[in-house]
């Protein structure tokens, strides 16, 4: 249900259910988590790109899987919700830069997956974004946490409450998407960007991501203490010493 490859220092994961528009199913989620965690632990991989096979990025939950939810017990629903939470948070909390190459529609949980990534590249013509859960009486509960890390409360409300599907340019205008790619060039642009940032210190990137995640939820005084502590630790790292020596030698 997924395809993967490693090119240089870049790991690529493709959701591979094109006949189902790469919709989410527990089997796909588990396969994704296994490969993503493998890439995350591989020290030779400096960045991870996520995209979809075919013409869709991810159309949200599989319809047959959604229909099955009607018969689930509360423990079943809890187990399933925990799996989805792990799916999104594994990407969001990754030590490595994560890049969504959105080649087509990213709807509901698919939009959540893109939002969990650090950077989003969107196909100018084919990419679409939206949270359609409210249209079927469902809640965008888990994905809303991630959306509110990217957008203001009121911009998030506009997407979550209306269930509107928006274009790549509309998504960029509200701050959901960073980069717009020419038609059918999204993955290529994402790969070039991944190669660029893979030249930076992975240790520094990882700690910077941790800094951003933690500071967001800390009180002012605690945030300052946390930042100071990370600054102290960073000064003793091998990456800093090597980078500083190179910088000084150039001068």
Q: Which residue numbers are catalytic? A: 133
Which of 12-17's residues contact partners 24+ apart within 8 Å by CB, and which partners?
A: 12/48, 12/49, 12/51, 12/191, 13/39, 13/48, 13/49, 13/50, 13/51, 14/50, 14/51, 14/52, 14/53, 15/50, 15/51, 15/52, 15/53, 15/57, 15/58, 16/53, 17/53, 17/62
DSSP state of 104: S
- CA gap 122, 128 in Å, rounded: 8
| Nearest alpha carbon to residue 89 among 48, 117, 121 | 117
What tokens were used for 50? 């996520």
- CA gap 237, 25 in Å, rounded: 41
Contacts of 191 (CB under 8 A, 6+ apart): 7, 10, 12, 49
DSSP state of 137: T
User: Is beta strand 10-15 parallel, antiparallel or unpaired with respect to 2-7?
Assistant: antiparallel
User: Is beta strand 105-107 parallel, antiparallel or unpaired with respect to 98-102?
Assistant: unpaired
Q: How far is CA 92 from CA 35, 89, 133, 212, 226, in A?
A: 15, 5, 21, 11, 20
């Amino acid at each position: 249900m997924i395809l993967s490859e490693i090119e240089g220092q870049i790991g690529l994961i493709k959701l591979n259910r094109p006949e189902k528009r790469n919709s989410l199913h527990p089997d796909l989620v588990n396969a994704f988590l296994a490969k993503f965690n493998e890439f995350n632990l591989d020290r030779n991989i400096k960045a991870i790109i996520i995209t979809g096979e075919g013409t869709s990025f991810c159309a949200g939950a599989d319809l047959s899987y959604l229909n099955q939810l009607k018969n689930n017990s509360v423990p079943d629903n809890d187990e399933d919700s925990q799996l989805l939470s792990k799916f999104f948070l594994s990407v969001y909390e990754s030590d490595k830069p994560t890049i969504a190459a959105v080649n087509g529609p990213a709807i509901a949980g698919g939009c959540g997956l893109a939002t969990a990534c650090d950077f989003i590249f969107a196909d100018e013509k084919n990419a679409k974004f939206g949270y359609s859960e409210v249209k079927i009486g469902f809640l965008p509960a888990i994905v809303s946490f991630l959306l509110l890390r990217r957008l203001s409360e009121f911009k998030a409300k506009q997407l979550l409450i209306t269930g509107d599907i928006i274009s790549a340019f509309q998504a960029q205008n509200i701050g959901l998407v960073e980069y717009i790619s020419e038609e059918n060039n999204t993955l290529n642009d994402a790969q070039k960007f991944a190669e660029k940032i893979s030249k930076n210190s992975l240790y520094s990137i990882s700690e910077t991501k941790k800094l951003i995640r933690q500071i967001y939820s800390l009180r002012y005084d605690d945030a300052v203490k946390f930042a100071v502590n990370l600054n102290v630790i960073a000064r003793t790292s091998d990456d800093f010493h090597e980078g500083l020596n190179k910088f000084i030698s150039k001068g």
